[in-house]
């Protein structure tokens, strides 16, 4: 942690940012951003990157590195491509993967956005090796995105965090399933605030929630509409371990946002959008991989203990202010 202009900076940008760009790709790519991330059992960092082509459609491509910073070996061909023949909901591409290792299954679950004719929905695929995938198809119908599976069952059921769109913007929800196919028991987790808040217009999960002793630590993106366009920044919230829809603490201020030139300028400027992280051998160092301005992949590093300590000192007195009234109505 450093202090800059009186603010505690919880994340440090890596000096070689952006760490991956379209210029690194072994085949023609327009932009490379919003990667899911995971550390494989041999210590390799795997990023599953969203690659956009010149049609504007995205697919996913794996990049592997021994240290998570450089020496990336990128798949020669797209790793997971839209399959609109079998999955019509993938007609206009697949985007923003979030990876969870599910110990019970001994497999990785990838939740991603399937861009259908009717808008974005949430699709799920399982894999052992990021080479072949079992596609479960759409698990949340449009409009819905920003999804990740929790790594273990909660009270007997799998849990998916996701962000259905509402007329007023979008709030984070959680849904449960006994088998990863049938989903229900929907609860709101985190409400977009209103007015001049930095997260007034939309909120969504960024990387998968991080399990800590204090609770599920969520790094979420908050969107503020401005006359110059949207600003995507990151905030922190903590949820009860065995009842993840219960918000324990929600940070008042954002903790990371666009400031470096590669975050300010690009296809969509002023966007910092992480979909994945890895944790170092010390169990505390967090490597946050994020899309910068919908154009490239960047890395920022923080410490889980410092995030929790900041949250304990900088949250709203009443976290329920962040939630809707009972019954899930939000307005």
Place of tokens 């990049």: 63
Tell me the closest approach of the beta carbon of residue 294 to ligand BMA, in angstroms: 5
Residue whose CB is less far from ligand BMA, 284 or 294: 294
| 205: three-class secondary structure by DSSP | strand
Token pair for 175:
């849904």
Report the C-alpha dihedral over residues 163, 32, 134, 153, rounded to 10 degrees: -40
Q: How far is the CB of 135 from ligand BMA (least distance, A)?
A: 20
Instruction: State which residue, 40 or 268, has the beta carbon closest to ligand BMA.
Output: 268
Would you say 98 or 303 has its CB closer to ligand BMA? 98
Q: Extract the tokens encoding 111.
A: 């939740």
Give CA 4 to chain center in angstroms: 26
Note whether 177 and 153 are within 8 A (CB).
no
Interface ranges with ligand BMA (CB under 6 A): 34, 95-96, 232, 268, 271, 273, 291, 294
Residue whose CB is less far from ligand BMA, 90 or 95: 95
In the complex, minimum distance from the CB of residue 239 to ligand BMA, in angstroms, rounded to a whole number: 22
Residue nearest to ligand BMA (CB): 268
Q: How far is the CB of 42 from ligand BMA (least distance, A)?
A: 30
Question: In the complex with ligand BMA, which residue's Cβ is closer, 273 or 310?
Answer: 273
Dist. CA 227–CA 245, nearest whole Å:
33
Least distance in Å: CB of 297 to ligand BMA? 12
Residue 88: count of CB within 10 angstroms of its CB: 15
Q: Is 156 exposed, middle or buried (0-12, 13-18, 19+ CB in 10 A)?
A: exposed
Nearer to ligand BMA (CB atom), residue 4 or residue 54: 54
In the complex, minimum distance from the CB of residue 329 to ligand BMA, in angstroms, rounded to a whole number:
24
Secondary-structure percent of the chain, ordered helix, strand, coil, rounded to 5? 5, 50, 40
């Amino acid at each position: 942690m450093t202090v800059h202009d009186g603010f505690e900076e919880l994340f440090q940008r890596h000096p070689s940012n952006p760490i991956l760009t379209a210029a690194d790709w072994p085949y023609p790519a327009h932009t490379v951003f919003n990667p899911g991330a995971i550390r494989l059992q041999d210590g390799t960092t795997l990023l599953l990157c969203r690659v956009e082509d010149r049609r504007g459609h995205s697919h996913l491509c794996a990049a592997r590195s021994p240290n998570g910073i450089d020496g990336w070996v990128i798949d020669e061909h797209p790793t997971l491509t839209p399959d609109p023949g079998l999955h019509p909901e993938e007609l206009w591409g697949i985007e923003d993967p979030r990876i969870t290792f599910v110990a019970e299954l001994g497999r990785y679950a990838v939740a991603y956005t399937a861009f259908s004719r009717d808008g974005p929905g949430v699709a799920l695929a399982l894999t052992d090796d990021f080479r072949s995938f079992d596609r479960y198809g759409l698990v949340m119908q449009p409009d819905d995105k920003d999804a990740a599976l929790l790594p273990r069952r909660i009270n007997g059921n799998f849990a998916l965090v996701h962000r259905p769109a509402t007329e007023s913007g979008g709030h984070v929800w959680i849904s449960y399933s006994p088998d990863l196919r049938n989903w229900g028991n929907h609860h709101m987790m985190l409400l977009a605030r209103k007015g001049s808040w930095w997260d007034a217009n939309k909120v969504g999960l960024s990387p998968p929630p991080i399990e800590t002793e204090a609770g599920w630590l969520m790094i979420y993106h908050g969107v503020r509409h401005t006359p110059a366009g949207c600003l995507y920044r990151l905030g922190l919230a903590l949820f009860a371990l065995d009842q993840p829809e219960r918000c324990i603490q929600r940070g008042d201020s954002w903790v990371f946002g666009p400031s470096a030139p590669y975050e300010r300028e690009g296809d969509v400027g002023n966007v910092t959008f992480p979909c994945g992280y890895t944790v170092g051998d010390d169990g505390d160092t967090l490597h946050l991989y994020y899309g910068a301005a919908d154009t490239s992949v960047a890395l920022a590093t923080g410490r889980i203990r410092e995030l929790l300590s900041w949250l304990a000192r900088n949250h709203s007195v009443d976290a329920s202010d962040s939630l809707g009234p009972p019954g899930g109505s939000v307005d």
